[in-house]
Amino acid sequence: MRILGIESSCDECAAAVVEDGRRVLSSVVATQIERHRQYDGVVPEIASRLHVEWIQDVVHKALADAGQKLPDLDGIAVTVKPGLAGSLLVGLSFAKALARALDKPLVGVNHILAHLYAPLLSENLEYPFIGLIVSGGHTLICRADGFDDITVLGTTIDDAVGEAFDKVAKHYGFGYPGGVAIDRLARSGDARACRFPVPNLYKGEHRYDVSYSGLKTAAIRQLDKFWNPDYPRTDQNIAAAFEKAAVDLLLSRLIRAIDDTGLRTVVAGGGVAANTYLRERLASRDDVRALFPPLALCGDNGAMIAGLGYRMLVRGDRDGPRLNVSPRVPSFRRLRSA
Ligand code: KG4
Ligand code: ZN
């Protein structure tokens, strides 16, 4: 079965054709990064307007790259949540029109579950495993028991991890997107230059939660307080120290979740999963099998939507003309602990 996947939840306009939920025949990602750079962040109205302009060409190219004729498609999958409402609506309306005109089945896909599906496009992986979704909008440590069966173990109680990278980078003028700029600078910096405070360890229900607003404030406003005077105050050192603090916090909760559940396979996804330090730290552990999707599938893309959409369509899921978008994720089941 060949499924067309359409993704327009944020600032990537993407489409892909995937066969049987595994074989990526094409994947086109048109990023709007350059158009938002001057604002140091995604401007929702600009994002949706660009999706309207671009989506037809992006879908057309995905079909052409796959050598796929529209009438021979077996179904259409589209991101419907979570994301920017105006952006999601562009992809959904386009997908609905296509499905209606071609009389093909349509299914709405959850973007977070799709990020967790991305590594399954290239690996044979058994459930259950631990999922780590880290991006500009999401910070999630979960247990995945099936392609749409996840239990949230931990999340952020304030800012998303990527958001913290972006805000610190914006403050210091490191570049956009902030995570990419910090990653690049940090490679030639020394994290010992600054020892940021570690947030209090949460207990019980918050055992696996993280918090980034304190670290963000410390990095922006309280550098003097935590700086080691033996080191020069360079962009590289600030980036390295911040990156280490942000990633170590995430890793401490992740390792806790791995140890508590005994599940030693971790699947990471989302833009921050491209971070060099995070990847190195996880890869260096003998007790954890860490799977990162190829870099092209870490960020937002249509292939993960088509892949997950295939599973849903095979199960019999169908959405009709009244399908709508949800900017926020309806809460996943959350693990209750003592
Ligand atoms: O998944 P994504 O493309 O879009 C969202 O759903 O948010 O993730 C974008 C986020 C941004 O916050 C960006 O700064 C961050 O991922 N990011 C990184 C790296 N590459 C992208 N953060 C840290 N290190 C990176 N190499
Ligand atoms: Zn995403």
Q: pLDDT of 93-121, one tens digit each?
A: 999 999 999 999 999 999 999 999 998 99
Of 95-104, 146-155, 233-242, 327-336, the least confident: 327-336
DSSP character at residue 201? P
- The residue contributing the CA closest to ligand 1 atom 21 is 271
Whether the pLDDT of residue 306 is over 80: the answer is yes
CA-162 nearest atom, ligand 1? 12
Q: Is the CATH code 3.30.420.40 the one for domain 126-292?
A: yes
Where along the chain do its domains lie?
2-117+298-336, 126-292
* Residue ranges around ligand 1 (CB below 6 Å): 10, 135-137, 162, 165-166, 177-180, 183, 270-272, 274-275, 299-300
Lowest mean pLDDT among 53-67, 303-317, 323-337: 323-337
Range 147-176 average pLDDT: 94
Convert 18-49 to b/e letters by CB count within 10 Å (16 or more is b).
bbebeebbbbbbbebeeebeeebbbbbebbbb
Ligand 1 atom 26, closest CA: 275
Q: What is the pLDDT of residue 202?
A: 65
- Ligand 1 atom nearest the C-alpha of 135 is 8
* Residues with Cβ within 8 Å of residue 241, at least 6 apart in sequence: 189, 190, 191, 192, 193, 194, 195, 196, 219
Cα–Cα distance for residue pair 35/200, rounded to 1 Å: 39
CA dist., res. 258 & res. 124, Å (int): 20
Q: How far apart are the C-alpha atoms of 160 and 162, rounded to whole Å?
A: 6
pLDDT at residue 296, as a whole number: 85
Report the nearest-CA residue for atom 7 of ligand 1. Answer: 136
Contact criterion met (CB below 8 Å) for 150 and 116: yes
pLDDT confidence tier of residue 337, bands split at 50, 70 and 90: very low
- Hey, what CATH class is 2-117+298-336 in? alpha beta
pLDDT (tens digit per residue) in 193-239: 999 988 776 677 788 999 999 999 999 999 999 999 999 999 999 99
Name the nearest CA neighbour of 294 among 59, 19, 27, 14: 27
C-alpha of residue 237 to centroid of ligand 1, in Å: 20
pTM of the model: 0.90
Give pLDDT, residue 204.
Answer: 73
Q: Read off the pLDDT band of 338 (50, 70, 90).
A: very low
Say if CB 40 and CB 53 are below 8 A apart. Answer: no
Whether pLDDT at 336 is above 70 = no
Q: Which amino acid is at 151?
A: T
Instruction: Report whether pLDDT(42) > 80.
Output: yes
Q: Ligand 2 centroid vs 24 CA: distance in angstroms?
A: 18
Mean pLDDT of 306-325: 97
* Residue 337 main-chain phi, psi, to 5 deg: -125, 170
Residue pointed to by tokens 């080191």: 231
User: Which ligand is closest to the CA of 163, given by its number?
Assistant: 1
For ligand 2, the distance from its centroid to the CA atom of residue 92, given in whole angstroms, is 16
Pocket test for ligand 1, best of 7, 272, 278, 300 (most atoms within 8 A of CB): 272
Whether the domain at 2-117+298-336 and the domain at 126-292 fall into the same CATH topology = yes
User: How close is the Cα of 6 to the center of ligand 2, in Å?
Assistant: 13
**Under a CB-based contact definition with an 8 Å cutoff, are residues 328 and 138 in contact?**
no
Question: How far apart, in whole angstroms, are the C-alpha atoms of residue 182 and residue 185?
Answer: 5
